[in-house]
Amino acid sequence: MLNAHDFKRSVLGPLLRGERPSGDFPATLFAAELNTPLDYLFESDHWNEVFGAGKRLMRAGDKLRAALAADGYSAQELLCVTPSGLLTLAPDPATAARWTEQIERAVAQETEIVTVSTIAQPCDTQQILAGCTARRVP
């Protein structure tokens, strides 16, 4: 198993540049998305409450990315990033589980009621190159 630095150098970096990694390495596809942020935003018809909710949602989205930034992931190393979610590759399921815990805690502290859905799907570089649909055959 590669450490985070070697994973980014050997797997994530080449994939983001459109190159093939030098070998078949394990990875974990990780995604996080705020659940129904617009319901939270428009819960009230009072402008000041909507404005405050919008600011809290923006901070919650920032905290999604901050959990990964703490491990050295920059915006350029995310496969997809939106104001309310992200998609990337983690070096292993344990890292993805740690991100999930950090993100859930941060979003709950920021908004009090908005939840976040996450998924961590173990795969390998061959599956990624095949569109995450191919299963390895022993």
CATH code, domain carrying 50: 3.30.70.270
Give dist(CA 68, CA 86) in Å, integer.
10
Write the Ramachandran bin of 18: left for phi over 0, alpha for psi from -120 to 50, otherwise beta.
left
Q: Is residue 138 in some structural domain?
A: no
Domain assignment present for residue 137? The answer is: no
Query: Which own/partner pairs from 36-39 qualify as long-range (CB within 8 Å, at least 24 positions apart)?
Result: 36/114, 37/84, 37/114
What pLDDT is recorded for position 59?
82
Is 96 within a domain? yes
Answer whether residue 114 is part of any domain. Answer: yes
Per residue in 60-113, pLDDT (tens digit) is 888 888 888 888 888 888 888 888 888 999 999 999 999 999 988 888 888 777
Alpha-carbon gap, residue 52 to 33, rounded angstroms: 20
Residue showing tokens 């797997």 = 11
pLDDT in tens, 16-31: 888 889 888 999 999 9
| Positive or negative: CA dihedral 130, 80, 108, 41 | negative
In a domain? residue 115: yes
Is residue 134 very low, low, confident or very high in pLDDT (cuts 50, 70, 90)?
A: very low
For residue 111, tell me if it sits in a domain: yes
Tell me how many domains the chain contains.
1
Report the pLDDT value the prediction gives residue 78, as an integer from 0 to 100.
Answer: 86
87 inside domain = yes
Question: Which residues partner with 32 through β-bridges?
Answer: 86, 118
Domain assignment present for residue 101? The answer is yes
pTM: 0.76
Phi, psi of 44 (to 5 degrees): -120, 155
Domain, as residue range, for 45: 4-129
| Cα Rg, the chain, nearest whole Å | 17
Q: 74 phi and psi, to 5 degrees?
A: -90, 170
Q: Whose CA is closest to 118, among 91, 87, 94?
A: 87
